[in-house]
Structure 1
Amino acid sequence: MVVDVHQSELTDEQIRAIWTPERMKEALRNPEKAPAARPDRGRTTKSVSPPHDLTASAPARGFAASANLSQRKAAAGMSVSQEAPAGPGNAIVGKLYFFTPEGEPNHCSAASIVSANKNTIWTAGHCVHRGDGSGDAGWNKHFLYVPGYSRGAEPHGEWTAARLFAPSAWTQDGDAREADVAAIVLNPRLDGNLEDVVGFALGYLFTENRTDYAGAAVMGYPGEGYQRTDLDGERLMYCAGDTTDAFPVNPFDDRIKIDCDMGGGASGGPFVWGPQNDPRIVGASSHVAVDDAHQRLTDDLFSSEHGSHAAALINTANGA
């Protein structure tokens, strides 16, 4: 199982200089689109190479009952996204700015994840690479991460990317079933690492063939949504409910689904599940279902299966 690694082309100082307020506003007007769900094509095997049963898990750090994470705010399912309530725990999600290979400012969502370096965020593969087999030419660039962003406020400042990680099953094959995932190791700052400054990091549970998580939430910064015109990428939004197997009739397709109207810009935002003191990433916003005219069909929001590819990815990032 191969994980591709890409080094940032610019230094921390150079990346910060590029991201002027004007470029950030331009990025807000260009939220990264969630790719359309690809047809099944009768697939009967998984793309994972041995070992196909690789798993990885780690508890969250820094959370307590007072952290006020959004997933605990709704006991029942909530498919219409709402603004996340104020609370220190929500600073584990942030806005991820970047430039496309063609130089267009864009943005996704990402979340702080427990890591050996305390400086890693989790997002979707399509937020870091085109997934079209274009190799080095397909990587997005000049990443800037703003944890806890809200209407222009940056309570924990800005962080730049040092290295990007994505499964080759995404970068080469665009496999949204199992591999639309990515990790980014950030540059440390003089005041410490991301986890130390923010005070929180989500744990993770990456295992094969598990799709159902009761009482989960998905969070992100959508600039658009299903039957919504009021989303602008300026606010952290969330949906709450149970995740399910997106395609139960196909035992080789274990994508995760949650009912949520968030669209472009929310890509890469975490699917979070677990108790108040141990919330864990179990997925990331990946794609939606569209018709032939590329119009979204439902409020279903899909994540790639977070199994062997996700486990290999976090293990690689931890060793970097």
Structure 2
Amino acid sequence: MRSKIYNAPCERESVRLLRFAAATAALSALAVLAPATASALPAEKKPSPSVVDVHDSELTDKQIRDFWTPERVKEALRNPAKAPATRAARSRTATSPSPSPDLAASAPARGFAADAARSGANTAAGLSVSQEVPAGAGNNIVGKLIYVSPTGELTHCSAASIVSANKNTIWTAGHCVHEGDGSGEAGWSKYVMYYPGYSRGADPVGEWTAARLHAPTAWTQDGDAYEADIAAVVLNPRLDGNLEDVVGYAFGYLFTENRTDYAGAAVMGYPAEGYQRSDLDGERLMYCAGDTTDAFPLNPFDDRIKLDCDMGRGVSGGAFVWGPQNDPRIVGAASHVALDDAGQRVSDDLFSSEHGSYAAALINTVNNEG
């Protein structure tokens, strides 16, 4: 058995301890909560520009919107992203630089009430069979990302609002923005547009177009899914405000090396298929809940994060979230699943790249852009 990129999760080692009140924390985090006072982003060490690739969209907001006719949107929504066949780990021939191994970044969530009710917080613990997230205004913190791949496919991933200095940033998987094959500028996704709160064809707060795409060079050049299948998309502001202001929420984040175990975490996204499931259609926001673990504890060089979850293609980029109900934070993003040599999924394991120094370098780059 081997782990392959497939449009859903990733693994590695650990150093951990911290707890959360389970998926409903992510759910309650998603459910209607009163706005809280925003906390200042911590000053972080600015990474070397070469650690993160940044691609400015060559298309205007209008050009992106004009491209997405109803017919094209439907085609993209029918076609969940397929991650390219690529190396799961950095090879000895990797050409990309590494960030400082002790680089870390964290910030609290915004928009979640400090006195959020905790009733029933543990009732959803251990849900490896995905269920639909209950309706609520807070669901707008997660959404669909549609785009045209470098090969011309109209396709989609999942993404989520993340706290940032510009208040216009979403977090997703690296393979949703770049092929991860060393193809440089030619490998970036095009016509990228985001639908926060998408559900059954409805987009309650409208669409947002991409201004810039960011991914670690360890992904864009070397296809490293152990540490770098992660991405941040900075969106164009709209006349009615920034994404965070309109949606009212943004997940915080906790990016630190050698940590894989998060008790009571959840992963959310839009699966169009799943492990031993035939009822997933990519139209509903779904979630799994449980404790994340080190995907391969016997390998100190593999700190991918694993969560038992049956969601498959379509959940790529879906946020792994952990923390109390008033401060849910992104700690991972759905990357790939385990396949056998025939390309068949062999378990309900869902993997995220380790969200350590590469994730920290990525969000720091976004925050340092001003």
- TM-score tier after normalising by the smaller chain length: over 0.9
Q: Quick one: structure 1 residues 102 and 251, their matched pair in 2 at CA, closer, same or farther if it must change by over 3 Å? A: same
Q: CA deviation at 1:319?
A: 1.7
Q: 346, 355, 360: which one pairs with 1:311?
A: 360
Instruction: Indicate conservation of the 8 Å contact 2:88/2:226, yes or no.
Output: no
Instruction: Indicate conservation of the 8 Å contact 1:176/1:286, yes or no.
Output: yes
Identity of aligned residues (%): 79
Q: CA deviation at 1:66?
A: 8.3
Distance in 1, matches of 2:247 and 2:108, equals 17
User: Is 1:219 the counterpart of 2:268 in the alignment?
Assistant: yes
Matches within 5 A, 1:89-104: 89-104=138-153
Distance in 2, matches of 1:135 and 1:59, equals 34
Q: CA deviation at 1:68?
A: 8.5
Q: Which letter does structure 1 place at the counterpart of 2:250?
A: A
User: Is 1:54 the counterpart of 2:103 in the alignment?
Assistant: yes
Distance in 1, matches of 2:97 and 2:299, equals 16
Q: Equivalent residue for 2:258?
A: 209
* Deviates further, 174-183 or 225-234: 225-234
Q: Which letter does structure 1 place at the counterpart of 2:165?
A: A
Matches within 5 A, 1:39-118: 49-64=98-113, 72=121, 74-118=123-167
Question: Secondary structure at the residue paired with 1:79?
Answer: coil
Unaligned runs of 5+ in 1: none
Deviations 1:272-293 (A, max 9, x none): 0000000000000001110111
Instruction: Indicate conservation of the 8 Å contact 2:89/2:224, yes or no.
Output: no
Distance in 2, matches of 1:35 and 1:260, equals 22
Question: Secondary structure at the residue paired with 1:157?
Answer: coil
Question: Secondary structure at the residue paired with 1:26?
Answer: helix
Unaligned runs of 5+ in 2: 1-47
Deviations 1:199-223 (A, max 9, x none): 0000000000000000000000111
TM-score relative to the length of structure 2: 0.82
Q: Which letter does structure 2 place at the counterpart of 1:275?
A: P
* Deviates further, 245-254 or 82-91: 82-91
Deviations 1:49-88 (A, max 9, x none): 351110000000001278789x947442011111111122
Q: 13, 34, 53: which one pairs with 2:62?
A: 13
Instruction: Indicate conservation of the 8 Å contact 2:88/2:225, yes or no.
Output: no
Q: Which letter does structure 1 place at the counterpart of 2:77?
A: L
Q: Equivalent residue for 2:215?
A: 166
Q: Quick one: structure 1 residues 89 and 67, their matched pair in 2 at CA, closer, same or farther if it must change by over 3 Å? A: farther
Distance in 1, matches of 2:83 and 2:130, equals 16
Instruction: Indicate conservation of the 8 Å contact 2:86/2:180, yes or no.
Output: no
Paired residues, what number? 317
Question: Secondary structure at the residue paired with 1:166?
Answer: strand
Question: Secondary structure at the residue paired with 2:347?
Answer: coil
Instruction: Indicate conservation of the 8 Å contact 1:34/1:264, yes or no.
Output: no
Q: Which runs of 4+ in 1 moved over 6 A?
A: 39-43, 65-69
Q: Quick one: structure 1 residues 39 and 313, their matched pair in 2 at CA, closer, same or farther if it must change by over 3 Å? A: closer
Instruction: Indicate conservation of the 8 Å contact 1:255/1:302, yes or no.
Output: yes
Distance in 1, matches of 2:206 and 2:115, equals 23
Q: Equivalent residue for 2:188?
A: 139
User: Is 1:194 the counterpart of 2:194 in the alignment?
Assistant: no
Q: CA deviation at 1:228?
A: 1.2
Q: Which letter does structure 2 place at the counterpart of 1:154?
A: D
Q: Which letter does structure 1 place at the counterpart of 2:257?
A: E
Deviations 1:109-153 (A, max 9, x none): 000000000000000000000000000111111101000000011
Q: Equivalent residue for 1:293?
A: 342
Distance in 2, matches of 1:14 and 1:161, equals 11
Distance in 1, matches of 2:90 and 2:224, equals 13
User: Is 1:273 the counterpart of 2:273 in the alignment?
Assistant: no
Q: CA deviation at 1:90?
A: 1.9
TM-score relative to the length of structure 1: 0.94
* Deviates further, 104-113 or 79-88: 79-88
Question: Secondary structure at the residue paired with 1:281?
Answer: strand
Question: Secondary structure at the residue paired with 2:346?
Answer: coil
Structure number with greater CO (CA < 8 Å, separation at least 6) is: 2
Deviations 1:1-47 (A, max 9, x none): 5100001121001101111111111112210135679567999x9x8
Q: 230, 240, 243: which one pairs with 1:181?
A: 230
